[in-house]
Amino acid sequence: MFDTGWVGFNNPSWTWSELEATLSGRGRDGRAPGSPSWNAGGDGPAWSRKRQPFEPEVSRTHGRVGYAELHCHSNFSFLDGASHPEELVTEAARLGLEALALTDHDGFYGIVRFAEAARSVGLPTVFGAEVALCSRLRRPGHSPNRGLRPSVGSHPHAGPSNHEQRLFRSEADTQTQVDTGRVPDSHAPDPHAEHLLLLADGPDGYARIARALSGGHLAGEKGAPQFTLADVSGTVGGHVWALTGCRKGSVPAALVAEGPAPAGRELARLIEAFGRDRVLVELWDHGDPLDTARNDALARLAHEHDVMCVATNNVHYATPTQRRLATALAAVRSRRSLAEIDPWLPAGAGAHLRSGAEQARRFARYPGVVERTVEIARAAAFDLSLVAPKLPPFPCPAVDGRQLTEMEHLRRLTEEGGRRRYGERPVDIGGVVEDLSVRARAWQTIDHELAIIEQLGFAGYFLVVWDLVEFCRRNNIYCQGRGSAANSAVCFALGITAVDAVSLGLLFERFLSPERDGPPDIDIDIESDRREEVIQYVYERHGRHHTAQVANVITYRARSSVRDMAKALGYAPGQQDAWSKRIDGWGSVATTWKEQETDRKSPAVSERSAA
């Protein structure tokens, strides 16, 4: 018997990959069974091989009171934030927030998922980071103004640079890893740090913060970037807002530990570094009995120093119900049980997203602090798609005493490669033009592709890739361009690919066209045994300030999560291992539970139990 619903002339227009995915039980979008849609398919192979588009579960509403949350951590603040960026966006849309900022620790790790989710619900996005500053350092035997390296992109407001040591490293200093001797104890119940919250003022501010973050990571060790106020302010000054931050910010910490006078000096230090109009005193209320007294003192300091206050909630999870997960993650981070870390945990579930109306009630005694968050967010918010990184200038040779431009150099190389691949350009002989041969079509295609490359300004990109392939060729390293780059006659002429796009009739616009956003994607496979040689060549050629490797953000496997959570709950190592071994090594905890429920309810299991 045939099911006529599946066989016929009116079947859906599925691709073979979609059909295979459906027959394999994954669904047309490639999402694995049981994969949560709010997590956009997940980033781990246990969910899918490709992260799927975010599917919003709510529509954005507009609150009665305008409010934008400017201090918010996702789970990309590893073992500190408890919510996925998508969960934070969903809750912000439900609460009717005017905008949401993502400010993870020491990096922009979660902003792509955050921006994609926010775009799907129409929520304006603000991008920032909370950096951990090193203790104020002075070079022994040096006067305050002698022997200090200038910070990249220094700004007039970088006042502390006259008193504090800079740690950002020059290009020449980044050839080797350094032992800083300042790696913090990340497993301490309450790790010591001096936090500084930075909010980007548009795309320029975003670029400045990104530069500062890169500088801090280059100055430190893996997992322990090194920032100083002088370095940060010299890099981002005039393009960000600096918030005094949470209880670990220099101003609140000094206020609680030493009183108003030292806190005032810390606030003056920030004003000197960033400018009076760029410093915001942050007030937050998690329901602690001392929150109001602290906020009163902070508001008084702000008035005395003529700076503005803003309300935040120092968010670490989306909803109050996720507080239990947040405390469990704190136990995992500190390698302690919940009972052991309990004295350091907050008393209540206060660090979640709140509506504008609730924040207005909590901060009624501080007029304007809620409304001002909307003003800051409207000035700072932008869509991440506006950020387009620029390649550094490619070094081009001089011809007849004149430096070639990138496009002239690319045309010159393509002409040489085109002659090797296709022969000389056809010439007009007595009014007869060769136009049907492969050679003629190839040169017409090359000219067409070069015109588009010049129009889009991607000559430098092609030169970078050509240079990489040339290095492999000179050193007998196997490499091969693949993917849609095979549709390009220019790539074939440059030796990047080995596929003759002209003879095969491949469409160049599938690879690059004026209608597509962003640069083309040229994938190159390099033999694994010698890949490190190529990586080091790229660093040497372009410098470590202009070169980066793509990093993976690892996710918990089900077994590891069960083992760590069991440890946090205080169970013995033997019990932790016993539970983790019962979990499907590649599936989720929910998948294992369903399988066990199915086995328990099956007749065969029931008969064995009865026997």
C-alpha closest to that of 100 among 377, 292, 511 = 377
CB 134 within 8 A of CB 226: yes
Distance (Å, whole) CA 379 – CA 516: 29
CB 519 within 8 A of CB 461: yes
C-alpha closest to that of 59 among 149, 9, 120, 147 = 120
CB 71 within 8 A of CB 197: yes
Share of the chain above pLDDT 90, in %: 58
Distance (Å, whole) CA 487 – CA 503: 11
Distance (Å, whole) CA 349 – CA 97: 20
Which of 6-10, 205-209, 431-435, 436-440 is predicted least confidently? 6-10
CB 213 within 8 A of CB 225: yes
Q: What DSSP line would sit under 147-197, residue for residue? A: SPPPPTT--TT-GGGGTS---PPPTGGGSS----S----TTSSS---EEEE
pLDDT in tens, 133-186: 987 654 444 433 333 334 444 444 445 545 567 878 777 677 666 677 677 777
Question: What pLDDT does residue 2 have?
Answer: 42
CB-based contacts of 474, cutoff 8 Å, min separation 6? none
Q: How distant is the alpha carbon of residue 591 from its chain centre?
A: 29
pTM comes to 0.83
Token pair, residue 105, equals 């620790």
Tell me whether residue 85 is exposed, middle or buried, using C-beta atoms within 10 angstroms of its C-beta: 0 to 12, 13 to 18, 19 or more.
Answer: buried
CB 201 within 8 A of CB 274: no
Type of residue at 275? G
CB-based contacts of 254, cutoff 8 Å, min separation 6? 262, 263, 265, 266
Comparing 211 with 182, which gets the higher pLDDT? 211
First to last CA, the chain: 40
Tell me whether residue 70 is exposed, middle or buried, using C-beta atoms within 10 angstroms of its C-beta: 0 to 12, 13 to 18, 19 or more.
Answer: buried
Q: Would you tell me how many other CB atoms lie within 10 Å of the CB of residue 112?
A: 12
Distance (Å, whole) CA 151 – CA 154: 5
Token pair, residue 222, equals 């893996």
Q: How distant is the alpha carbon of residue 246 from its chain centre?
A: 22
Distance (Å, whole) CA 608 – CA 305: 78
The answer for 430, left when phi > 0, alpha when psi is -120 to 50, beta otherwise, is left
CB 352 within 8 A of CB 323: yes
CB 544 within 8 A of CB 523: no
CB-based contacts of 436, cutoff 8 Å, min separation 6? none
Residue whose token pair is 């099956």: 602
The answer for 597, left when phi > 0, alpha when psi is -120 to 50, beta otherwise, is alpha
**DSSP H helical segments within 278-322, as ranges?**
291-304
Which of 87-101, 296-310, 327-341, 547-561 is predicted least confidently? 547-561
The answer for 232, left when phi > 0, alpha when psi is -120 to 50, beta otherwise, is alpha
Q: Are strands 68-69 and 99-105 parallel, antiparallel or unpaired?
A: parallel
Question: What pLDDT does residue 607 have?
Answer: 56
CB 384 within 8 A of CB 321: no
Question: What pLDDT does residue 555 have?
Answer: 76
pLDDT in tens, 317-327: 999 999 999 99
Q: What DSSP line would sit under 199-268, residue for residue? A: EE-HHHHHHHHHHHHHHHHHHSBTTB--B-HHHHHHHHTTSEEEE--STTBHHHHHHHHH-HHHHHHHHH
DSSP state of 484: G
Does residue 250 have a pLDDT over 60?
yes
Does residue 28 have a pLDDT over 60?
no
Going by pLDDT thresholds of 50, 70 and 90, the confidence category of residue 21 is low
Q: Locate the domains of the chain by residue range.
A: 1-60, 68-171+188-384, 398-542, 563-610
Residue range 459-488: average pLDDT? 94
Q: Which residues of 17-36 are buried (b: 16+ CB within 10 A; e: fewer)?
A: ebeebeeeebeeebbbeebe
Distance (Å, whole) CA 476 – CA 181: 41
The CATH classification number of 68-171+188-384 equals 3.20.20.140
Does residue 302 have a pLDDT over 70?
yes
Distance (Å, whole) CA 207 – CA 235: 10
CB 489 within 8 A of CB 498: no
Residue range 8-16: average pLDDT? 64
Residue range 576-598: average pLDDT? 79
194-200: strand order across its sheet:
68-69, 99-105, 125-133, 194-200, 240-243, 279-283, 308-311
Type of residue at 543? G
C-alpha closest to that of 567 among 341, 349, 321 = 341
CB-based contacts of 239, cutoff 8 Å, min separation 6? 200, 201, 202, 204, 205, 208
Counting DSSP H helices and E strands in the chain, the numbers are 21, 11
The alpha-carbon radius of gyration of the chain (Å, integer) is 29
Going by pLDDT thresholds of 50, 70 and 90, the confidence category of residue 543 is confident
